[in-house]
Structure 1
């Protein structure tokens, strides 16, 4: 059962000398498997405990004088300078935690940051300024090109007494709207060119009609073209010639500064990258300090640590003088791997390479609580089995596998799941004897769905029965681990619910086969008894566990009608959950039938090339669309028919401290 359990965690409390806090936190961060908890809150709620001994007297007395680290501040000047360096050195800055493992002389790092800043910031600011001016020049050149036909100075046009003009563009759709409303236009509209998919116009309107014209242009989504400047007074051709000269001058200056900055980047690449990594580390240290508590001389830290890592953590921190490290599961009456005092631990899933990618599917539904079994292994295997049964094809499965492998670097989780789905499809393709839809190229190791329709449908229901049964046992184990004994024994998804389910299955089996594993009288008696227990469960609970008074305080007693519908819902879900799995067989048949349709079309085409094209398109369609639909249907079976039996969720994901926000606690 250990393989199905979530990772056991323990609360770690630390008290140390304030002068060591940065080095201790550096080790904690680089360990990458500790989740921070607000130490001040732990102390305030009397959960931060250390052994009461003379040796720890000063630390215990310090509890009365602690203050939160929430107001920890950092040097904005240093931060701003390093952010500018990061902006400049963007292509050479990389996170490498190995650079941080050795001793860090912060004074030297700060000095190197100021040195690099002094060398590059003026050049970089000038480079940005010239680039901004160059962009404005290019806008102006483009704008004045639409006026090249004018031989009069722009000063005269800009100083018109009774007219206003606008340069802008309209989409082709809005051009048609404009043409349809020419009679209502209070302006002269002149087409002067095109820009990508839009048409460029100059609109000239009397100043008295300016408001109406602007309202019309807004309704047409008229996009103004920037670049016309009042200070440019010559003719458009002369303005463009002057701007082209400025553009060339600015381009030369930009190249000069870029070359200087590239030289400086090469010179300071190593120091800059180290400073960048140190900045990320201390940025994270400052974040953690906000969740710590401090006195004048001491710091107090709390965090969740995997139980299996305790020895490693102790060894790592043993180099610090007077550092007290206490784990909650080492205290008397601690309650094992939990906080030992009612604190709810987060959930850390532990799965091998086969199951790991499917954790994302579990998390979409909810995070398992700390006491629950990890549903990922069961979900992984059942998902692959169901997908393979519904989409069994050796060739198409190989395509899905290769697609998953191809996208795995960019979409690691999804690509890994897709490749596993492809392997499952290939395995069941061998079982069905199917290769790219063709049923008679390779032999079937099992049966061919279209030649054994009843077998296919019955087999799919049997698979559903097995999976639902495992789900019931999963749920009962979870209720036992969570000490929910009432639901374990009397609940609809507990022992009584399973007995009802098993009895109804045996009755259905005897009706179809004529044979019964148990006498039908006994089966009907079990069904009746289970229904009565479910109906009278509140009364039975109050009698057995003697908690009727507590129940009245926490929830209102259900009436007879409501209990009737609860029992009816349990009976209905037993039937519908089981019959839902018939879709597994239905999709297996649909998979074959869909290809037969494309194969028939291919035979109708009296051309080898055309037939091949139709079969190719058919396979692409089946892999893409049907593969997607089958994947969604399997997910539906997992969530609605299986998870409802055993998975309650409600857990909090374990988020270790990671630098550079590598998926951990930010």
Structure 2
């Protein structure tokens, strides 16, 4: 169902907006509109621009919380709401207590970073068995540390190395590069550099801070890094011990800062207004939608506050912010099906919310197409677990669909594909046939599926008429193919077919012609009739001949759409039969159909295969029926969803 909305305007002194949001508005759900956009053209309005003062404190408190485990939970729910000033003093006091240790931690991390950079530089050359300081001190020989890509190294060895007056020492390789160092006499340095660079040699500059061979330098650095890490751990342990008594307060302050920062960002929806001839102070202006219940409660709560003025408007007034956003609220059983509604489009505020209809029809159609007691029970249990543990709406849909599969499993007498364990309460889908006049013998499930489809189409036509009356779309209610004309034509046609099939007497030909022909002409001539009634000129008219051709194809398209929509429900029976047929194949492969020894491995695997494959296909086919054969008759889905801009939910941070 769609929640009734009220449009409200909130105003007060400019500097009081944070207190108002924190004290009152943060406890409500409200869809804020941009006040500047809503009141465009008012010369006294200005945007509310200011920097967020809580960003700095959030960064500083994050630097304190880094000493605790990320999984730690200390932000217990509390009614305390410390001010920004109180939080600032708390942070500064805490920083002062651990200042010297924190500074030591920063310095140690800086030293550690330099040591790690040095290690990363020298590590690729660990196989060079010669002291680095001696390489650096050579007078007549020059050297270059660096690397080739593997491809360029192979080209270098093949085309360049033999013509280069140098010695290349390969040191190590990784997934992309070959590392090494080359030596050359001083007089050939420029030529050798050019040759190596031509093969995309990348020089790595090694500082002269290393002693011994690269392997010895790496070992020394690793020891130093280990020592520094131990010192960092000791320092952080000391800091953590000092912060431990304040941990709940720190996490509470972080949570409070998040709320205050979130509330501060409400200013982007506000406008500032000031008129020197009317008022001497600058005031903020917030406008948005609340549920009728919340709007009344919010209005009453702020009545005693002289700095908060709330105006509650009716949702139909011209100043009411246009069409209200749509806030859907349904019973917990139907709520998962809002997923499908949002996939198609949120209902317009003045439209019918089809969630409950989708929940019932989707589950019913799924059960009819996938009727099996055992497989349905597995779907129900799996969907329920998915919905409870993972909070997935799709799990709730699968669970309810599985329940209806169990129901139809009893109607069909099918348990994991075995149709002899229980007697069907209705029929076996593959064997039960019905004799129809003119058509002959037809599967009963097919007939039942089409009859149910006709019932759904008639129901949706009625729903569309009711919705059109509510929205005052008189022309559509009367002349549209999904309105009164469509209901009269389709209903008469179905009634005539039922009378014919049952052998009853049909109405007189003239009556049938009128009941079928007049609505059909009303639908085909909808545009000119509406234009004449509204005293408007019909646009795009190209003469009587073209108009007649257009009307003919319009009638043909209407007839075709009714026929295709009705016949489309045959797939319900087709999948019920195919499900039974697939399970018969599984039982045949397992040997159970012949009454001999049953291979239960094949039975289990076959059932799992059918549940996975056919369950997915049936789910998609039912959704197609919902979107094309049901929604197309009454549902537009052109609304805008309700977005809660203010209320800060804990789950938004997780």
Q: Do they fold alike, i.e. is TM over 0.5?
A: yes
1:302 aligns with 2:280: no
1:250 corresponds, among 197, 213, 228, to 228
CA distance in 2, matches of 1:192, 1:527: 91
> Residues 222-264 of structure 1, C-alpha deviation per residue, up to 9 Å, x if partnerless?
xx99998775453233123212211321220231133134324
Matched ranges for 1:588-603 at <5 A: 588-603=576-591
Aligned to 1:578: 566
1:312 aligns with 2:301: no
Query: Counterpart of 1:450 in 2: which secondary structure?
Result: coil
1:436 corresponds, among 409, 416, 439, to 416
**TM-score (structure 2 length as normaliser):** 0.82
Question: How far 1:148 moved relative to its partner?
Answer: 5.2
* Residue pair 2:587, 2:593 contacting (<8 A) in 1 also: no
CA distance in 1, matches of 2:145, 2:80: 69
CA distance in 2, matches of 1:399, 1:190: 66
> Residues 163-205 of structure 1, C-alpha deviation per residue, up to 9 Å, x if partnerless?
765277x8xxx9xx999x999676799998897xx69855789
* Residue pair 2:144, 2:203 contacting (<8 A) in 1 also: no
2:327 corresponds, among 348, 351, 356, to 348
Question: How far 1:307 moved relative to its partner?
Answer: 0.9
Q: 1:424 to 1:207 in 2, by over 3 A?
A: farther
CA distance in 2, matches of 1:192, 1:448: 77
Question: How far 1:384 moved relative to its partner?
Answer: 0.7
Matched ranges for 1:2-41 at <5 A: 4=1, 6-18=2-14, 20-41=16-37
Q: 1:162 to 1:500 in 2, by over 3 A?
A: farther
Q: 1:236 to 1:10 in 2, by over 3 A?
A: same
Query: Counterpart of 2:390 in 1: which secondary structure?
Result: coil
1:285 aligns with 2:274: no
* Residue pair 2:9, 2:285 contacting (<8 A) in 1 also: yes
1:615 corresponds, among 585, 600, 603, to 603
Question: How far 1:581 moved relative to its partner?
Answer: 1.1
Query: Counterpart of 1:378 in 2: which secondary structure?
Result: helix
Matched ranges for 1:410-449 at <5 A: 410-449=390-429
Question: How far 1:378 moved relative to its partner?
Answer: 0.7
2:635 corresponds, among 639, 643, 647, to 647
> Residues 448-495 of structure 1, C-alpha deviation per residue, up to 9 Å, x if partnerless?
212226011111111211222221122122222221111111011111
> Residues 248-286 of structure 1, C-alpha deviation per residue, up to 9 Å, x if partnerless?
212202311331343244222222122222212221221
Aligned to 1:323: 308
CA distance in 2, matches of 1:420, 1:339: 43
Aligned to 1:361: 340
* Residue pair 1:390, 1:630 contacting (<8 A) in 2 also: yes
1:108 aligns with 2:86: yes
Q: 1:591 to 1:73 in 2, by over 3 A?
A: same
Q: 1:633 to 1:231 in 2, by over 3 A?
A: farther
Question: How far 1:351 moved relative to its partner?
Answer: 0.7
CA distance in 2, matches of 1:534, 1:605: 55
Aligned to 1:534: 523
Alignment gaps of 5+ in structure 1: 47-63, 216-223
Higher deviation after alignment, 241-250 or 560-569:
560-569
Matched ranges for 1:521-560 at <5 A: 521-546=510-535, 548-549=536-537, 552=539, 560=547
Q: 1:264 to 1:383 in 2, by over 3 A?
A: farther
Higher deviation after alignment, 78-87 or 380-389:
78-87
> Residues 384-407 of structure 1, C-alpha deviation per residue, up to 9 Å, x if partnerless?
111111112222122222222222
CA distance in 1, matches of 2:194, 2:447: 83
Which structure: greater helix fraction?
Answer: 1
Q: 1:406 to 1:526 in 2, by over 3 A?
A: same
CA distance in 2, matches of 1:476, 1:20: 49
Query: Counterpart of 2:421 in 1: which secondary structure?
Result: coil
CA distance in 2, matches of 1:392, 1:537: 44
1:166 aligns with 2:147: yes
Higher deviation after alignment, 571-580 or 130-139:
130-139
In angstroms, what is the RMSD of aligned CA positions? 4.0
> Residues 535-560 of structure 1, C-alpha deviation per residue, up to 9 Å, x if partnerless?
221221123333x14x65xx888962
1:402 aligns with 2:381: yes
Q: 1:388 to 1:214 in 2, by over 3 A?
A: farther
Aligned to 1:262: 240
CA distance in 1, matches of 2:383, 2:297: 37
Higher deviation after alignment, 289-298 or 511-520:
511-520
Aligned to 1:54: none
Query: Counterpart of 1:305 in 2: which secondary structure?
Result: strand
CA distance in 2, matches of 1:527, 1:234: 102
Q: 1:110 to 1:142 in 2, by over 3 A?
A: closer
Question: How far 1:30 moved relative to its partner?
Answer: 3.1
Higher deviation after alignment, 613-622 or 415-424:
415-424
Aligned to 1:218: none
CA distance in 1, matches of 2:496, 2:161: 86
Alignment gaps of 5+ in structure 2: 163-167, 183-191, 275-280, 434-442
CA distance in 1, matches of 2:369, 2:346: 28
CA distance in 2, matches of 1:192, 1:327: 78
Higher deviation after alignment, 111-120 or 391-400:
111-120
CA distance in 2, matches of 1:607, 1:34: 66
Higher deviation after alignment, 233-242 or 587-596:
233-242
Question: How far 1:345 moved relative to its partner?
Answer: 0.7
1:392 aligns with 2:371: yes
* Residue pair 2:492, 2:515 contacting (<8 A) in 1 also: yes
Q: 1:339 to 1:26 in 2, by over 3 A?
A: farther
CA distance in 1, matches of 2:13, 2:282: 6
CA distance in 2, matches of 1:345, 1:318: 25
Higher deviation after alignment, 78-87 or 159-168:
159-168
Aligned to 2:481: 492
Aligned to 2:185: none
Query: Counterpart of 1:290 in 2: which secondary structure?
Result: helix
* Residue pair 2:10, 2:310 contacting (<8 A) in 1 also: yes
Aligned to 1:61: none
CA distance in 2, matches of 1:314, 1:244: 67
- Flag the structure with larger Rg: 2
CA distance in 1, matches of 2:508, 2:414: 43
Q: 1:192 to 1:568 in 2, by over 3 A?
A: farther
